[in-house]
Amino acid sequence: GAVVSQHPSWVICKSGTSVKIECRSLDFQATTMFWYRQFPKQSLMLMATSNEGSKATYEQGVEKDKFLINHASLTLSTLTVTSAHPEDSSFYICSAPGTSGRQRDYEQYFGPGTRLTVT
């Protein structure tokens, strides 16, 4: 099956600094990728849809200037948390739809997630 990687798997940073998280589709191309945030014992919250070659689409309530998304190529999307604060500490997960079969059969393939802790 399709594989999505994320880097780093965990990161600790100081308040006020910026952190970049990479999401890569390893054996398939992804024109669309999704970024989720997950709080402990809670469901996934969709933050934004990353589109290759165009601007990301952000969900309501997500600050565009704080969570910068760049979909630089068909296999890479990055999420940069700018001026991080302790409340940004969370588990960030990316996903990409598969490319085989008819569109309506697409599954989403998930990265392993990145644990961000802001001190």
Q: Give the dihedral sign, CA 96/99/100/103.
A: positive
Q: Which residue stretch of 14-22, 60-68, 77-85, 105-113 sits at the interface with other proteins (rule: CB under 8 A)? A: 105-113
| Beta-bridge mates of residue 23 | 6, 77
For residue 60, state whether it binds other proteins (rule: CB under 8 A).
no
For residue 28, state whether it binds other proteins (rule: CB under 8 A).
no
Which one, of 106, 108, 111, lies nearest residue 79 by Cα? 111
Between 11 and 82, whose beta carbon lies closer to other proteins? 11
DSSP 106: -
Binding site for other proteins (CB under 8 A): 1, 4, 6, 32, 34, 41-44, 46, 49, 91, 93, 95, 97, 104-113, 115
